[in-house]
Amino acid sequence: MVAKRQQHASSGPKMGEEKLIIRPEKARFIDILSMLLLRRPITSYACVDAGDQTAGDLGSTPGDWLVALSQVIQKALEALYYPALAIGAVVELLLNFVALNNGILGILLNIFTCKLVIPQRGAPNYRSIIGMIDGRTELMPLPEGGGPDDRRLQVVGVTAAGKSTVEGYYIDVEDGECGSPTVPLIQQQYVNGRLIRLRTFSVFEVTMMAAKIAYENAAYIENVVKNIWKFNWVGFYNCWNKFAEDYTTQAFVFTDRATDASVVVVAFRGTEPFNTRDWSTDVNLSWLGMGEMGHVHVGFLKALGLQEDDGADAARTFPAAAPASAAAGDKPLAYYALREEVRAQLAAHPNATVVVTGHSLGGALAAIFPALLAFHGEQDILDRLLAVVTYGQPRVGDQAFADFVRAGVPVEPLRVVYRYDVVPRVPFDAPPVAEFVHGGTCVYFDGWYDGRAIAAGEDVPNPNYFDPRYLLSMYGNAWGDLFKGAFLWAKEGKDYREGAVSLLYRATGLLVPGVASHSPRDYVNAVRLGSIAVEAKKV
């Protein structure tokens, strides 16, 4: 299978000849049973649309249990779509009502004094369920010391081995300290000594917090960026998906300063907890051959602005120029709108570099965005790309895609995974039907925020989630997370105190382990508290 992937990468699959699109709305219950019992060729089902080359490659290959399971999950998620949205809206409204009125007693007092606060969806103080689970908005600054031209590697919340002073927050590249057997997380990504400073904050701190607040409404995000972070607000982008016929993709852009900025940050919104269609996209095994880009997940391409899913013509599938409807501005497409905004910001700030980030589904879009820039030859933007950092990101393509990114994108994407988070383990790697693999550098954290680097070509434990050998460990981790969430504040301080909503969310992991581990809260904690042991190497 590895050999076949390498062959595809070297030969360069042609547009339209390679695709496999599984349409769950067309999949019948009898089709799912047939995949499990009769083992008919996967391309023989009416719900499967395969390209000519793919049909030839697969031949009589049947759909295995992972393919059938993905269809069952998607069917269930679609059935839950409207109930989940309704429940989510009510839950968020009630939680905001209680929070804005300072609890049950506050509600009674405000009724008595005629000062009852009614939550307004879309207001700067209205939080999503993600914000209710983790309401932190402040950035944790680096200790004082070092100026804007400091070329030492800066970290948050951890120290190098043997250091406990302010200087312990810095690793000097030129002194060769990155050869130490234990170094902070940031050391792993930026051993070339490039400047990664965002004022007084680390890239990891800013990207994770940006990925977290991306779940909120535009007014909330703008308020945090401008008034809490004191950064320069650029804009919020609510983007069209022509296949869903809806505005399904959201992102925002900011710079660290209004003039002569040093960084432009693009953050994509991730999988919303009560939107089961977002979860269904993560699970879907459909892919499209994108020429030299390799096989790329269709759902994520659609979210960024895919025009045709037949793949027959590259100019139609994902053209370099924005389609007329998107250029007109009434239905902006994420890739094109953000590409033009980034280009404008780089023109306005000649010394700025670009950072792209996202959590969950947002991480998938953040991973594909620079790949599309390379696909379209946008070298002026790529030359100023500083970092691509994702958290809890699902798989987005095959080995050819990973190789394309490695060759065409000037920075190695960094992918952070916490424990048994379910999302980085989907879509399933189910060769030869769907050969989804992760690319880039991965740092994997256990429940106490001890990290380790994942070697190239390897994946996190229990990569397809349903391996029964990990069952006890997964449930044990869920109990451990619940215990840690209740008591971490006693060791680390009030910023790590969790409320009832957060602990109830952690308790869902006792039913479905890995769901609670997907919360941005643990990724924020990992960035602030985590460290990683690595092998010594010479810089």
The predicted structure's pLDDT at residue 513: 93
For residue 124, give the amino acid letter: P
The predicted structure's pLDDT at residue 507: 96
User: From residue 173, how far is each of 24, 39, 54, 538 by CA, in Å?
Assistant: 51, 56, 48, 10
User: From residue 300, how far is each of 25, 50, 129, 167, 291 by CA, in Å?
Assistant: 18, 18, 23, 42, 17
The predicted structure's pLDDT at residue 452: 83
Q: Which residues of the chain have pLDDT under 70?
A: 1-16, 142-201, 311, 313-315, 327-328, 456-457, 533-539
Q: Positive or negative CA dihedral for 124, 126, 130, 133?
A: positive
Cα 13 from Cα 401, distance rounded (Å): 11
Cα 383 from Cα 487, distance rounded (Å): 45
Cα 63 from Cα 70, distance rounded (Å): 11
Instruction: Please list, residue by residue across 439-450, b when 16 or more beta carbons sit within 10 angstroms of its beta carbon and e when fewer do.
Output: bbbbbbbbbebe
Could you tell me the pTM of the whole model?
0.88
The predicted structure's pLDDT at residue 46: 92
DSSP letter for 437, please.
Answer: B
Helix (H, G, I), strand (E, B) or coil at 376: coil
> Are 250 and 239 in contact, with CB atoms under 8 Å apart?
yes
Give the long-range contacts of residues 482-485, CB within 8 A, separation 24 or more. 482/506, 482/507, 482/509, 482/510, 484/447, 484/448
The predicted structure's pLDDT at residue 327: 67
Cα 293 from Cα 235, distance rounded (Å): 29
Continuous segment of H or E residues that includes residue 446: none
User: From residue 260, how far is each of 232, 263, 264, 345, 347 by CA, in Å?
Assistant: 11, 9, 11, 10, 10
- Rounded to 5 degrees, what are φ and ψ at 111? -65, -45
For the chain, the straight-line distance linking the first and the last C-alpha, in angstroms and rounded, comes to: 35
The predicted structure's pLDDT at residue 18: 87
The predicted structure's pLDDT at residue 328: 64
